[in-house]
Amino acid sequence: MVSWIVGSAIAIALYVLIYYNFLKGVPWRSDTSLKGKTVIVTGATTSLGKATALDFACRGARVILACRSKERAESAIFDIRKKSGNNQVIYMHLDLASLKSVRAFAETFLRSEPQLHLLINNAGTGSPGQTVDGFNIALGVNHLGHFLLTNLLLERLKQCAPSRIVVLSSLAYCLSRIDFSNLSITGGGLINEVQKYCLSKLCNILFARELANRLEGTNVTSYVVHPGFVFTDVFRDLGLLAKLVFGPIAFLFFQTPMDGVQTTIYCAVQEGIEKFSGRYFADCKVRKVFPHARDDAVAKKLWEVSERMVGLCRH
């Protein structure tokens, strides 16, 4: 019994040491005001998105929660307004799994909101299934929906420059490579679903890189962020087996949403990082990505292929 107690105490001590020194992430604080600024946060009803929206609201920004569920958005808005004391927090319907919905959102926003200073492409999913347009959900929501949204809002961002675009990615990009002959991977099963998610995160990084190249000289900058391993709702629609595998690991070792948003906030408000446009950030620092994620030729081709997939091709 004594040995069991001692062993348990050592295990708990090791867990605490590892979690708070290596997994929890780097806290970052700034009192930068966003009064007079307008921000869009996609997927802002829970987890990282809600925590990001709350931070911006506390800084005085006008915050647009771009989400699918009106009911969940209204609940999030109530909480954010109460905690921030800022009533300039509103909902606009956006379903990133539908290109028609993305276009409708952009049209409504551009008609009703004269300014846009920050676009936070936060929403993400690892769910199985297909979008309305026939793409796998991970690629459709995590990359293509945001790709179209960003392009439709670019002129407004340029008009309100200096402005920024922050794209959430993941270290999971390491496990994927671009195959343009099979970009929208099909098929089910846990391994296939993980592959789809990892590919979408690689696309996020390449998208932000090419976006920065195309925006050079406009005073609009883009940044891609790995928020850390955060206990979010991203895998909420996975099957029972996946939940049994990922659930306990996420609960024990992943960060809280408030921990996870620190790098997003950093890239949104920190002064002097404009020279790092298109780069990958983690723990509020620029990080080097593997060669396959910084290939400009692949990034350019992905942009052109994505244009065709979402119906933006101008050629």
How confident is the model over 132-157, as pLDDT tens digits?
A: 999 999 999 999 999 999 999 999 99
Q: What is the C-alpha R_g of the chain? A: 19
Would you write out the chain's pLDDT as a tens digit for each of its 315 residues?
555 554 444 544 444 444 444 455 556 678 899 999 999 999 999 889 999 999 999 999 999 999 999 999 999 999 999 999 999 999 999 999 999 999 999 999 999 999 999 999 999 998 889 999 999 999 999 999 999 999 999 999 999 999 999 999 999 999 999 999 888 877 777 788 889 999 999 999 999 999 999 999 999 999 999 987 655 555 555 556 655 656 565 555 555 667 889 999 999 999 999 999 999 999 999 999 999 999 999 999 999 999 999 999 764
pLDDT tens, 101-134? 999 999 999 999 999 999 999 999 988 899 999 9
Q: Specify the DSSP element, H or E, that contains 221.
A: strand 220-226
Buried b / exposed e across 271-303, counting CB within 10 Å, b at 16+? eebeebbbbbbbebeeeebeeebbeeebbeebb
Q: How far is CA 219 from CA 81, 163, 206, 273, in A?
A: 31, 7, 20, 12
Q: What are the boundaries of each domain within the chain?
A: 36-310
What residues are paired with 64 via a beta bridge?
A: 40, 90
- Cα(31)–Cα(312) distance, rounded to whole angstroms? 39
Coil, strand, or helix at residue 307?
helix
Q: Is 173 assigned a catalytic role?
A: no
Tokens of 272: 């002097």
Domain 36-310 class, CATH top level: alpha beta
Catalytic residue among 91, 173, 197, 223: 197
Q: What's this model's pTM, rounded to 2 decimal places?
A: 0.86
- Cα(175)–Cα(180) distance, rounded to whole angstroms? 16
Q: DSSP letter at 245? A: H
- Cα(18)–Cα(116) distance, rounded to whole angstroms? 40
Tokens of 193: 């679903």
